[in-house]
């Protein structure tokens, strides 16, 4: 499964110009797969999960429905977070000159494919031993 997730992350980077990388993490901050350059993936996975939790609460408490995505724009680029199924998140890093519309279009599709890959995956080793 990790090979397929990594292939999807790399394909996304090739489809979106000025994309710096991305990762897939569980909702509790565990790193599942990454294609990041210049960012520490484990720390980014943990921060993505924290952001996901806050975004879920914000969307719910304001009546906006189920969380779909979040975008942070900094002076040096973007961090976009997308729901990838019920328990995972796709985090994408982009340079400031990235086309945000294209980023959303392609990352939403990748998040759906990642969710499908994760749903077809066997349970983690710890879960099978229980």
pLDDT digits (tens, 9 = 90+) for 44-89: 999 999 998 899 899 999 999 988 999 999 999 999 999 998 889 9
Domain of residue 74, CATH code: 3.30.450.30
Tell me, yes or no, whether 128 lies in a domain: no
CB 3 within 8 A of CB 82: no
**Residue 101 has what pLDDT?**
96
Whole-number percent of the chain with pLDDT over 90: 78
Task: Give me the domain span that covers residue 34.
Answer: 2-123
**Buried/exposed code over 72-90 (b: 16+ C-beta within 10 A; e: otherwise):** eeeeebbbbbbbbbeebbb
Helices 100-120 and 2-15: crossing angle in degrees, nearest 10, is: 170
CA distance 121 to 16: 27
Q: Structurally, how many domains does the chain consist of? A: 1
3-class DSSP assignment, residue 49? helix
Confidence of residue 122 (pLDDT cuts 50, 70, 90): low
Tell me, yes or no, whether 80 lies in a domain: yes
Tell me, yes or no, whether 23 lies in a domain: yes
Tell me, yes or no, whether 61 lies in a domain: yes
pTM to 2 decimals?
0.88
| pLDDT above 50 (res 129) | no
Tell me, yes or no, whether 130 lies in a domain: no
CA distance 130 to 113: 28
CB 50 within 8 A of CB 79: no
């Amino acid at each position: 499964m990790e090979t397929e997730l990594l292939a999807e992350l790399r394909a996304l980077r090739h489809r979106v110009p000025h994309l710096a990388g991305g990762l897939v993490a569980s909702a509790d901050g565990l790193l599942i797969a990454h294609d990041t350059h210049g960012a520490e993936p484990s720390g980014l996975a943990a921060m993505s999960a924290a952001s996901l939790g806050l975004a879920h609460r914000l969307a719910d408490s304001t009546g906006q429905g189920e969380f779909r995505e979040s975008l942070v724009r900094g002076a040096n680029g973007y961090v976009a977070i997308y729901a990838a199924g019920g328990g995972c998140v796709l985090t994408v890093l982009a340079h400031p000159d990235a086309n945000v519309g294209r980023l959303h279009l392609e990352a939403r599709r990748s998040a759906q494919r990642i969710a499908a890959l994760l749903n077809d995956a066997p349970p983690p080793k710890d879960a099978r031993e229980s």
